[in-house]
Structure 1
Amino acid sequence: MSIHEPGSSMNDSPSKIFLRKLRALREATRFRGAALDDPEIAAYALRLNWLLEICLLAWGCYTLRSWWMGRPHKAFNDAVFMTITLFLYGWARRQESRRRLRFAAHLTLFFSSIGLFCAALLTGQSESIVLGYFVGVPLFAAYLEGIGASLFWAGWIVLLLAGISASEVLFPLTPEFTPGLIERGVDHALQIAFILAFAFSSRRVTDRQLRAL
């Protein structure tokens, strides 16, 4: 007894079955409505899309929070890097080529790490609550590019952290604010939320790829 796909019939030719599977594959791996012919590029585009949306959500949340709590320097920093991420989000979607997508991914990781670096300088340097977010950079690099890229970006993050520690010795800065116990708890909860968003996006992309096979 043979098993048929939904919508197929006993009289379907092999070419019709192949075309149906191809349409399903392109539908499952499309990048925000733009169907891509190469499934590998499509999967990469989908992962990058999730990365950019998570970064936009994070920068947006912190921009609003800093503005609401009367922290103009931190709000300005967050708004600048949210704008850069928004630009990359639009630029990456203009032409879904492998080169453009990979370049957009590395630019996103670079500007995100620089944004965190600047935020750390404003909020206590080596005592900043922002430092916990640096682990996300090599994590996302592994998600997008693999182990090699993850090691490269991990090295970059080590340099930035060393720079933050050195800045405390060379030119100590008065933090714009000192978070209290409740704010630290809220910040840790947000970090967990963004990690969960990353885990959800990773699982969703994997499920789409499996359904497309």
Structure 2
Amino acid sequence: MEKRIQSTNEPREIPTDRVPASLIYLAEKRVFDIFCGLMGMVLVVVAMLALFPFCLFGKNKGPLFFKQVRIGQNGKEFKIYKFRSMAVDAESKLRENKKLYQKYVANNYKLPAGEDPRVTKLGSFIRKTSLDELPQFINILKGDMSMIGPRPVVKEELVEYGNLVSQLLSAKPGAMGLWQASGRSGIPYPERAELELYYVRHRSMHYDLLILCKNIVSILKKDGAF
């Protein structure tokens, strides 16, 4: 599987510090994010109306949204929004079960498909169709995230980037990115870290649009979704 979308040649010496982006690119990116965020909120509202009734009964009973603390640009913490695909208090249940948590960490901060007891039947469906990710348009409008960028990580994942953490955090995290376009959950660390950092070093508006198209194809094909 090709892991990188063709771009400029990677430099021989990889910098370990922050990788700045041009002000013009950042301005273009923010305008693009606001446009996509406004368009995406239409999908969020439609999905909310469709999913809300399921949150009133049975195992799916509970809040419609799931919020989790992630690490954003410059190390700033923020809460990422998703449609809830797990049972209520799934995070605390995961940490209380030491064996399950160890498996979660060993499997790149996810549990293998079909082996996560926290995921509901409805949750399994919205994960496979990527509907659970739609509320991230809220994060995009708020400015916590961008349409394209490295996937926002939980604090524990920062160790996977070693002395390149500051480089990763120099870019705003994205709802879509090179990692997802290249295979998503099928690509574990350290390959995932290499892809995310490669994007940071080569980001441009043209590259973002190329990655966006690749992500749309991956979503339609359900590559790496579970």
Instruction: Please indicate, yes or no, whether the TM-score normalized by the shorter chain is above 0.5.
Output: no
More helix by share: 1
Structure number with greater CO (CA < 8 Å, separation at least 6) is 2
TM-score (norm 1): 0.27
Higher share in strand:
2
Which of these two proteins has the greater Rg computed from alpha carbons?
Answer: 1
